[in-house]
Amino acid sequence: MAYRRTADAFRSGDLALLSTLVDADVVWHVPGRHAMAGDIHGRDALLAWFGLLRPKGFWLSEHDVLGNDEHVCALSVMGARQLGVDVQTRVVSVFHYRDGQQLERWFYPEDPVAWDAIFTD
């Protein structure tokens, strides 16, 4: 449930709700060779990172979500659509939650070249 609430808040752009669902000390591990890759530490940094995604035409859809109150595995397709760019790849994401708040996320994209293209201007 916590994952679904977080994903829905992200998709709707509800940053106020999203900030209540992500721990202040959250860490996201973003792979790749693009400028947005690396570890993102803290809620404020993550919300700022989200702000960089919208102009890139970022989107995601879930294929399946498995988990319990502490750990979630989401099987998704992520991509970007904007002028001159239409790219996507399947991604496995692993999350750690505590007390309904997201603490950590790891991304495992199937196609690293497509993954990098999602985040490139």
Per domain, the residue ranges of the chain are 2-118
Q: Is 3 helix (H, G, I), strand (E, B) or coil?
A: helix
- Determine how β-strand 85-98 pairs with β-strand 101-109: antiparallel
Q: Evaluate if residue 34 carries a pLDDT over 80.
A: yes
At residue 39, the pLDDT reads 98
Looking at 3.40.630.40, 1.10.10.920, 3.10.450.50, 1.10.10.60, the CATH number of the domain 2-118 comes to: 3.10.450.50
Where residue 28 falls (left for φ over 0; alpha for ψ -120 to 50; beta otherwise) is beta
Residue 36 pLDDT > 90: yes
82-101 residue pLDDT tens: 877 899 999 999 999 999 99
What is the mean predicted confidence (pLDDT) over 59-64? 91
pTM of the model: 0.92
Q: What is the mean pLDDT of residues 30-48?
A: 96
